[in-house]
Amino acid sequence: MALRNIVTEGDELLRKKSRQVTEINERICTLLDDLADTMYYENRGIGLAAVQVGVLRRVFVVDVGDEHGLIEFINPEIIETSGNQVYCEGCLSVPGRNANVNRPAKIKIRATNRHGEEFELEAEGILAICICHEFDHLEGILFIDKAIDGEIIEAGSDE
């Protein structure tokens, strides 16, 4: 098990666009392992993108605690979206802050797994939210950028 340090808001890296993975090698597999370890170790983490541990590659992992368990995404593309849903989001890179964000209710995503196989996944509910949130990280976008009415809820505030 290997934990990596989480990059937090204010670091310019989080604003950069991550690069495509061109070869799935041992380094990428170790990155996937470490992302999962770090996500599970951190309190309430349900998703983690490579950029959040300082690696500008189009890779993320999610586990929202449903029947899918851990899902690893390499070079993901969101190919369909429909509907919308609002959820109060947080992020390991933006500690102590939450915001309501509007996301698609359903998505279809295409990505590559660690064995180099392409797969498609349809997601809704919290899994769709989590995937969209992680996908945004690859584009340098944070959930606070999408806060409804720009309203950020500070932890400890009861409003």
In terms of CB distance, is 118 or 145 closer to Ni ion?
A: 145
- Minimum CB separation of residue 67 from Ni ion in Å reads 23
Q: Could you say which of 26, 118, 122, 134 is catalytic?
A: 134
In terms of CB distance, is 16 or 118 closer to Ni ion?
A: 16
Alpha helices by DSSP H, listed for 83-151, are 125-138
Stretch that binds Ni ion, among 36-44, 56-64, 66-74, 83-91 (CB under 5 A): 83-91
Contact at 8 Å (CB) between 38 and 6?
Answer: yes
Across 45-80, b (16+ Cβ under 10 Å) vs e yields bbbbbbbbbebebbbbbbbbeeeeeebbbbbbebee
Contact residue for Ni ion among 31, 91, 101, 138 (CB under 5 A): 91
- Minimum CB separation of residue 137 from Ni ion in Å reads 6
